[in-house]
Structure 1
């Protein structure tokens, strides 16, 4: 058995054990509420890309992670589990195909699994048909990893464009299919090389300025995996609350887009 496989199994076991306890446990950050996102009302969200974002209260944050699954994802899942926090993962199809066990593990932990294309290309530089095909192949790979059946109809209709590079035609296509396009309100810039300590300083500074919002991280980054426990502690100590986003069920009553179920 390879060292990577052994490492993944160890993290799987820890994450499962953490979630086996009742959450939130005393002294953990926890997940304050679940927000059902109505695609008709919020087709495109995130102030870095769009005029609209989610209806969050002061000091509420939504944690999102892009580009996985990867060898570093178990460390992210373990940190979240220790604090009883739920997040959203926007997955690249080729990575889901390579590591389907991690897709299932994230879902088993209660996290929301969105989509992030098949191969992380510059979709705005492709023809509409080629870009649509890449999006659909990514969704199909994610669905196959999660449910064992490849389909371009997403069980979670959330999508984030690689590099936030969209086109009007692709946005219209996704909206017509009832797929919410996620931007972000601010991010950790963790695609840049920096220490975990520098990343923590950067993201907490941006959080202080914004006070709330959708935050973008990358679960493929080792520096983010190393930083995340301290960031979650910062949220807990400073009175921030984590909101978990899920799709609004089809046919649900209109008021259900702001469900405040406590975990």
Structure 2
């Protein structure tokens, strides 16, 4: 199958020299400070909300991540906010949502964002049989890759996975590690699953980031409140000298 233009754009995005800022034509934009290669052999499990360690981030460096999409009305607003500030993020997609909205998935990839995986149907995997959970994980990965015209394989094109509800089991964690798939938790989150206004969410995540100083941040691009507050949050990051780190799979020969 021939690669589509969005897929080619996504693949080219992964070739940005590590340590180089993303090309941005808008003066004064936040921009992307650097690309961090993540090798699952070195970082099999990251995010201090779930695991002992996180990614090697410096003070005031943040990684933006979004779960549960795509959802066209809100995901497109998030993408627009990121584009205005020339910022790249990582989207952990639910497979059935990706299959239902392939155009949005391709738009995420075409913008140079990283696409990770978040299962097919978003179950609590600690409460279902392990073999059922493994099939749901695999189906979600395959669905995301299929939308991008990528062949099914033992490991997905991007070997990044986040458990729904951060709810894992030792067996599932070991199985993913054996397959060379990094499991992402988070270092702080916006708690945007709770009922609040965009202004309340903005204040909450700003306060948490000021305390944490750095880290992987969890948002949900399916939430209207998150889409509404994202332009203000990115502006606050820029005004307060935070730097965006874009994560991408390590290429062969790179740590």
TM (normalized to structure 1)? 0.86
In the other structure, the counterpart of 1:34 is 35
In the other structure, the counterpart of 1:194 is 196
The structure richer in helix per residue is 1
In the other structure, the counterpart of 1:213 is 215
The answer as to 2:47 corresponding to 1:43 is no
Instruction: Pick closer, same or farther for the CA change 1:91–1:186 going to 2, 3 Å.
Output: same
Distance 1:229 1:64 in 2: 15
Is 1:46–1:214's contact at 8 Å kept on the other side of the alignment? yes
Distance 1:97 1:146 in 2: 10
Distance 1:43 1:141 in 2: 23
Equivalent runs, 1:118-137 vs 2, <5 Å: 118-137=120-139
Distance 1:23 1:106 in 2: 17
In the other structure, the counterpart of 1:184 is 186
- Runs of 5+ unmatched residues, structure 1: 1-21, 258-263
CA RMSD of aligned residues (A): 1.3
In the other structure, the counterpart of 1:89 is 91
- What is the aligned length? 233
Is 1:62–1:243's contact at 8 Å kept on the other side of the alignment? yes
Distance 1:73 1:66 in 2: 10
Instruction: Pick closer, same or farther for the CA change 1:148–1:181 going to 2, 3 Å.
Output: closer
Deviation at 1:149, TM superposition (A): 4.4
- Runs of 5+ unmatched residues, structure 2: 1-22
Give deviations 1:173-222, integer Å, cap 9, x for gaps. Answer: 00000000000000000000110000000000000000000000000000
Instruction: Pick closer, same or farther for the CA change 1:54–1:181 going to 2, 3 Å.
Output: same
In the other structure, the counterpart of 1:17 is none
Give deviations 1:107-139, integer Å, cap 9, x for gaps. Answer: 000000000000000111111110000000000
In the other structure, the counterpart of 2:107 is 105
Distance 2:157 2:120 in 1: 16
Instruction: Pick closer, same or farther for the CA change 1:38–1:83 going to 2, 3 Å.
Output: same
Instruction: Pick closer, same or farther for the CA change 1:93–1:152 going to 2, 3 Å.
Output: farther
Deviation at 1:150, TM superposition (A): 4.7
Partner of 1:65, secondary structure, is: strand
In the other structure, the counterpart of 1:247 is 249
Partner of 1:125, secondary structure, is: coil
Q: Structure 1 runs of 4+ off > 6 angstroms?
A: none
Distance 1:246 1:59 in 2: 19
Instruction: Pick closer, same or farther for the CA change 1:209–1:24 going to 2, 3 Å.
Output: farther
Is 1:24–1:30's contact at 8 Å kept on the other side of the alignment? no
